[in-house]
A and B are shown apart, each in its own frame.
Chain A
């Protein structure tokens, strides 16, 4: 069964600090990996996309990494802000077939002032 596992389940940090969220997946064959941000009570919104050949990609204060050999990804948030408080979900899309994305459980991040 294709799975996406995330850690930690939850994280609390102080405003201005950095943090790193982890994602391990077993989806194969693999097309791409996305990180989504989901604010409380809202639908998820895509932050980054990484394909098999990409190792690092940045989007403002968010930097995603991908190691396709070990099937691991991370999302690093720099200089956290209160508005970063949300759930961050790792999503992997298989290649071929119906391309139905598989979602992880998410990491709940709380940024305190």
Chain B
């Protein structure tokens, strides 16, 4: 399978714990995006990378959220000191840098976070 891969698919954690999600994009895609989606809402943009450079992070929801893409391949999204309001689906998407103007994103299956 050469699509976008995310894991874990589901994560249940207690309030105050840290969680980390991983995303493996389509191999030839150098753009990688993180979105958050809550029930009944569309995906909300969080951050994106072009290769290993994080070019936009002002939309991360708080300083408890951080993302990395150390080698320009897979990416991780970490949430520290989780709160119940962090419960959501976290979606990763990738695209080829030379096709960003088409707006076509290839999404993974998402990582669903439940904070108790």
Q: Which residues of A contact B (CB under 8 A)?
A: 4, 9, 31-32, 34, 41-46, 49, 89, 91-93, 95, 98-106, 108
Contact residues, B67-116 vs A (CB, 8 A): 91, 93, 100-105, 107-110, 112
The one of A42, A99, A102 in contact with B110, judged by C-beta atoms closer than 8 angstroms, is A42
Q: Is the interface of B mostly helix, strand, loop or mixed?
A: mixed
Contacts of A101 in B (CB 8 A): 45, 103, 105
Contacts of A42 in B (CB 8 A): 109-110
In the complex, residue of chain A having the shortest beta-carbon distance to the beta carbon of B56: A98
A34 touches B107 (CB 8 A): no
A43 touches B103 (CB 8 A): no
B93 touches A43 (CB 8 A): yes
Q: Which residues of B contact A (CB under 8 A)?
A: 4, 33, 35, 40-45, 48, 55-56, 91, 93, 100-105, 107-110, 112
Minimum C-beta distance from A47 to chain B (A): 11
The one of A32, A41, A43, A104 in contact with B42, judged by C-beta atoms closer than 8 angstroms, is A104
In the complex, residue of chain A having the shortest beta-carbon distance to the beta carbon of B110: A43
Name 30 interchain pairs, CB-CB below 8 A, sorted by A. A9-B40, A31-B101, A31-B102, A32-B101, A32-B102, A43-B4, A43-B91, A43-B93, A43-B107, A43-B108, A44-B43, A45-B107, A46-B105, A49-B103, A92-B103, A93-B101, A95-B101, A98-B55, A98-B56, A98-B100, A100-B45, A101-B45, A101-B103, A101-B105, A103-B42, A103-B43, A103-B44, A104-B42, A105-B42, A106-B42
Minimum C-beta distance from B24 to chain A (A): 13
In the complex, residue of chain B having the shortest beta-carbon distance to the beta carbon of A99: B100
Given contacts A43-B91, A98-B56, A100-B56, contact A105 B4 (CB under 8 A): no
Contacts of B109 in A (CB 8 A): 41-43
Interface contacts beyond A93-B103, A100-B33: sample of 15 additional A-B pairs, CB < 8 Å, sorted by A: A31-B102, A32-B101, A32-B103, A49-B103, A49-B104, A89-B42, A91-B103, A98-B100, A99-B100, A101-B45, A101-B103, A103-B42, A103-B45, A105-B40, A105-B42
